Amino acid sequence: MHAVFVNTFYAHNLSGASFAVDRRLQLFLRHKIETTIISADYYLTNRYYFHYHFPELSQHFLDLHDILTGNIERDEVDAWLQFYEENSAFYSFDTNKKIATAQNGVYLRWHNYDDDRLMSVHHYSKSNKLLRSDEYDWRGYLAVRVYYAAKPNGDQSYVVSREHLNPDGQTVLTYHFTSDSQIRRIDWKNSAGQTKYFNQKNDLLVAALKYYSMLIGDEVLMILDLFHSDTIAKLQSLNTLDSLCLIVQLHNIQVKNTPEGSPTRIGYSYPVLNSEKYSGLIVLTEHQRQDVLALADPDRVFTIAENWYDEHDVATHDAINWSDKEDGLVIISARYDKTKQIDHAIKAVITAHERTPNIHLEIWGGGNDNVQKELQQIIDTHKANEYIKLMGITDNQHMKYRFAQAQLHVLVSKNEGLPMVFFEAQLGKTPSISYDIDYGPSEIITNRVNGDLIAANDITYLSSRMIELFQNSGTLEHYSENSSQTLIKFCEEAIWQKWENLIKQVFR
């Protein structure tokens, strides 16, 4: 059997869901199941950011377009060296400004990946019009050519077509766009030399995944880690293929354009209401399962947590001493997003700090710039910069280190799935205080045993409870020691047993 996880895309600020997909990948590989992660949305940086976050697992990553263009296996080459050798005789290079200019006035500008590999080269006319962009895969070869045309008003240019190249440098996949950036048509010349036409990305995604399943030539367990109901609905046709079982992972309740104060809408409406079209749906908690069972076939709903702990995790956990933690450190790891309600924690810490001056808050994450500005404004207004800091984005290993240093973790979201940050906090022997929301906190936190569950949106009590906890640190230390029970509940053997049961059931 070969497992395929279809994810959206990869970026510097990675979602908890993508970290969860990585943990699943590691689990499957540890249990000798060949596994591939496929990114469905085209971003030139997908491969780079996957490697950035998970360097040991790069060989298990494919972009959808690698499949369509025959670039599944490519050796790494030095794109810059080839680019320079081909153009240095015709252009004068200024490497500081990243510009190369020809005698007739036309010029090139280039950009690099964060590790300095060549990423893209933009071709300009002498009148400064952008004509073409050459995009280089992180492995070092020319992968895409993008062509531009002037919009009808003549003021701006737009992408008229995007050509994806095969290993021979031939165009085998072309996206055609309208002047308002909508897809007009997609042409794909398959390995048999036949050209197929598509009007939507979802139709192309279906064709690519069918083709890749054929290349595998074995039973395929395909798990969709996607969030848009229309895409999930289109992909249900894959479940009719012989030897392929299609599973939808319900990461959380997705809020899309929901007005403030109105009920939360579920973003997975199609698979939940049409569960018979899939081999299974995976929920993260028993609470979520009960809600889904009101609408879905009970035999197709599986409860499997996103994360798990192995022997190394247990050893890391047991080596942490409460006395080594940073006195008064409170930590948040979350996107800058309205649904995370980080302002609640900031306001609570500002109040608590008046009574317990050792309390200081680190907020790790990135995301919406406007939300970040609003959070910083609250901090500035209350002159709290000395003890509340927006730390930005860091890598996973450093985040684990700071979790292990903290004495308290805070989660104040409107809704969640089964937050990865709880697993990281428990691994670091760091208690959590969390709003008791759907879904996840009550799955990890037993109230007044290894953390606190409090009523959602009660900032006043959140602040007063922080004061109580830090004025009686013995309670926090007691919570910390009880985190060992979480590592037992979510041990590798227990989680893998659930996966084995799912695999046996869907392939029976």
Residue 504, domain member (yes or no): no
Q: What is the number of domains present in the chain? A: 3
* 223 and 175 together in one domain: no
| Domain membership flag for residue 494 | no
pLDDT in tens, 473-505: 899 999 999 999 999 999 999 999 999 999 999
pTM for the structure as a whole? 0.93
Check: CB of residue 367 under 8 Å from CB of residue 336.
yes
Pairing of strands 360-364, 329-333: parallel
Instruction: List, in sequence order, every residue forming a beta bridge with 281; answer none if it has no partner.
Output: 248, 301
- Determine, yes or no, domain membership for 503: no
Which of 303, 323, 343 is the endpoint of a domain?
A: 303
Say yes or no: 287 and 345 in one domain.
no
Q: Do residues 467 and 427 share a domain?
A: yes
Taking CA atoms, 331 is separated from 123, 427, 444, 489, in Å, by: 46, 14, 17, 24
Distance of alpha carbon 311 from alpha carbon 241, whole angstroms: 39
CATH number of the domain at 123, please. 2.40.128
The verdict on 109 and 160 lying in the same domain is yes
Q: Are residues 331 and 379 in the same domain?
A: yes
Same domain, 477 and 370: yes
Residue 448 maps to which CATH number? 3.40.50.2000
In a domain, 365, yes or no: yes
Q: Which of 239, 272, 303 is the last residue of a domain?
A: 303
> Residue 136: helix, strand or coil by DSSP?
strand
- Given 190, 218, 234, the domain boundary residue is 190
Q: Which domain holds residue 401?
A: 311-489
Residue 150 confidence (pLDDT): 87
Same domain, 353 and 284: no
Q: What is the pLDDT of residue 14?
A: 85
In a domain, 501, yes or no: no
Residue 400 covered by a domain = yes
- pLDDT band, very low/low/confident/very high, at 156 (cuts 50, 70, 90): confident
| Domain shared by 461 and 346, yes or no | yes
Residue reference for tokens 């924690």: 345
88 and 109 inside one domain: yes
Say if residue 259's pLDDT is above 80.
Answer: no
Query: pLDDT band for position 267 (50/70/90)?
Result: low
163 and 262 in a single domain? The answer is no
Question: 497 lies in a domain?
Answer: no
